A = this chain, B = another copy of it.
């Protein structure tokens, strides 16, 4: 009688797609496989989602939510602004490293067409991405008020910072970075430190 006590089919389909994606990449996510894992027929998902992309969109939304939660939780654990920035960015790359396939779903090639299918602005996918951006911009604006982050449009700083971290993550995941040095994770961590360093206000400026 309590709604949501046992996960309904819709929720279980999303979970199954999430797991299959994480285990075997995009190629491993088939409606047949998702149905089988949940214990329904291969056409059952069509009762809950318009098509395969709609199911994957729900997975991406959940990934955005999980990443946002993780960043906000990390933010609560630090007190001063430069450290909170570093901690949040590290939480970001940790999520991307642990959930590689979900991360690629959020920012990869596939998502562009999906946002258009959602109606460009206003869709949950766009809202979720915007919320992450605003979290980042808000932290930078706070730091500027405290005088520890350098001047400039906080939206520009946030976009540039996010772009750099995303770019680093992309190169790390694609192996373009890995070849240079063993331990891509440590390498990215160090470079994120440099990014934060570059955001700090300079004495007398």
Q: What residues of chain A have their CB less than 8 Å away from a CB belonging to chain B? A: 25-26, 104, 107-109, 111-113, 115-116, 120-121, 126, 129-130, 133, 155-156, 159-160, 162-168, 170-171, 173-177, 179-180, 191, 194-195, 198
- Tell me how far the C-beta of A29 lies from the nearest C-beta in chain B, rounded to whole angstroms: 13
Bound CA–CA A179/B86 (angstroms): 27
Q: Indicate how many identical chains form the complex.
A: 2
Q: Is the CB of A155 within 8 A of B180?
A: yes
A175's contact among B115, B159, B195, by CB below 8 Å, is which?
A: B115
Bound CA–CA A170/B120 (angstroms): 16
- Tell me how far the C-beta of A17 lies from the nearest C-beta in chain B, rounded to whole angstroms: 17
* 9 A-B pairs with the lowest CB-CB distances in the bound complex, closest first: A163-B167, A167-B167, A166-B167, A164-B164, A163-B168, A104-B109, A108-B109, A112-B174, A163-B164
Q: Is the CB of B168 within 8 A of A159?
A: yes
